[in-house]
Chains A and B, each alone.
Chain A
């Protein structure tokens, strides 16, 4: 009990000669149930000209324990049947895994119902807004997750949406989330959006022009994702074991798994 304050405060009242005052043993104790936990892990999404890549490590933790070395954080949304065949949207959730699972199941149901009711697949844009509503619906008992949604938009461009736990969302080029987000995100700012990089031939000193960010080719992006995660694994204890990636193109979702350090 960290809340028991035992040091004696200076006062004029007679006090105990020993420094710990006796406490009432049978004092009623507030024992609250806390409905959240953190299962660690990290996710990352980058959108390209005609594809989106979403990646996440597969470690699940509670405290200093590893629950399992393989617990996927990436889920295909929509498509057919329980295995989401022919799906075109990927949701990644990191934070409290039970809430993540619940959110994924709700979104998957919504997207499948959309197809039954409208006779066509939902667009990523519409799915993104619906996800925001699902999160905000639990505004006062939130899903404790950071979600990233990826797909290919109506124009065939890579689409990536990132969320906060209560549904505030934004379309972006790249986003890292979870335990190692603060380690990965600055690296992405620099390597994807070319922040703080200037064209060396564009003039002297402060007159140098910032480099313009262009959509990156797929090989480059895959390498960035790998480097981001191997770096995060080195410096964050909750990240490791395996790297699951899903690449969404107009042709479907390509899934890969590669090992990460297990220490």
Chain B
């Protein structure tokens, strides 16, 4: 009888031999002789584009609700916009498990930051020590850069949308390499190819974004979500959209549907060249 509690319920070494941790990850005592320590990964379950636009008093951000497993549209109710507080929303593209890790990280950060004051989304009263979107972006980009420097990246491209300390609209991006940049319109993944040109036509520069109304911004983002659904094979017609406004705070809609799609032209297209009927 072994009186040490840590051995209870385990196979006995004298009967079965010592446990072989060979296949376990390095962090759990496993390692293969002659093999390097591996934690470089590639994304598995992924989300596609995130788009966002700054307008005169806030930011609109959107992402669809699909999490793909390769080319399999596996999970159709994954919400990729995370509300941090009433000044900041984060949109995640890329690996979903890394998104969930970052979401937990943000929750603990939120608890830490707002232990004294209140950062609740619903709390209209108190703004004490509310972490701004700018601060949050700095934090997240440092997390991303540190992980890439350890060769163990968080496989995401994320957009941070919200307000600065002085309640100016703020929008910036961070990715798995720790690259950061800010612009009046931003889009990750496929959106960088398809949505950005459309959004830049509406909002070419900062002045244009200061003149843009909330309605026009939402309209532009919805139009881009539609274009992405037409042309991105990893996209879906249900999406989340969030508006961070300096007057009304965060307005998050989780289950929007694309409207006004145009497919009627398709029945006139026949064959691939000479076929007419």
Q: How far is the CB of A260 from chain B (nearest CB, A)?
A: 14
Q: Complex: how many Å from CA A216 to CA B149? A: 42
Q: Complex: how many Å from CA A155 to CA B177? A: 42
Contact B181–A36 (Cβ < 8 Å): no
* Docked complex: A115-170 residues within 8 A CB-CB of B: 141
Contact A69–B205 (Cβ < 8 Å): yes
By beta carbon, the residue of chain A nearest B155 is A33
Q: Complex: how many Å from CA A66 to CA B193? A: 9
Once A35-B149, A36-B177, A102-B145 are accepted as A-B contacts, the answer to whether A67 and B40 lie under 8 Å apart by CB is no
Contact A101–B180 (Cβ < 8 Å): yes
By beta carbon, the residue of chain B nearest A65 is B192
* Docked complex: B186-219 residues within 8 A CB-CB of A: 186, 192-193, 196, 205-206
By beta carbon, the residue of chain A nearest B178 is A98
**A33 touches which of B41, B183, B193 (Cβ 8 Å):** B41
By beta carbon, the residue of chain B nearest A70 is B183
Q: Complex: how many Å from CA A142 to CA B211? A: 43
Q: How far is the CB of B134 from chain A (nearest CB, A)?
A: 11
Q: How far is the CB of B270 from chain A (nearest CB, A)?
A: 33
Once A65-B193, A98-B145 are accepted as A-B contacts, the answer to whether A33 and B179 lie under 8 Å apart by CB is no
A8 at the A/B interface (Cβ < 8 Å)? no
Q: Please report the number of residue pairs spanning A and B whose Cβ atoms sit closer than 8 angstroms.
A: 57
A68 at the A/B interface (Cβ < 8 Å)? yes
Interface size counted on chain A using CB atoms at 8 A:
22
Write out, one digit per residue, whether chain A residues 57-91 have a CB within 8 A of any chain B CB (1) or not (0). 00010100111111100000000000000000000
A97 at the A/B interface (Cβ < 8 Å)? yes
Task: Find the residue from B183, B196, B205, B206 having the highest chain A CB count within 10 A.
Answer: B183
Once A65-B193, A68-B182, A70-B183 are accepted as A-B contacts, the answer to whether A37 and B42 lie under 8 Å apart by CB is no
Q: How far is the CB of B116 from chain A (nearest CB, A)?
A: 23
A32 at the A/B interface (Cβ < 8 Å)? yes
Q: Complex: how many Å from CA A101 to CA B145? A: 10
**A68 touches which of B42, B145, B148, B181 (Cβ 8 Å):** B181
**Given A68-B186, A98-B178, 6 additional A-B pairs, CB 8 A:** A37-B177, A66-B196, A67-B181, A68-B181, A96-B177, A98-B179
Name B residues whose Cβ lies closer than 8 Å to a Cβ of A: 40-42, 145, 148-149, 151, 153, 173, 177-183, 186, 192-193, 196, 205-206
30 A-B pairs, CB-CB below 8 angstroms? A31-B40, A31-B42, A32-B40, A33-B40, A33-B42, A33-B151, A33-B153, A37-B179, A60-B181, A62-B192, A65-B192, A65-B193, A65-B196, A67-B181, A67-B183, A69-B183, A69-B205, A70-B182, A71-B182, A96-B177, A96-B179, A97-B180, A98-B145, A98-B148, A98-B177, A98-B178, A98-B179, A101-B178, A101-B180, A102-B178
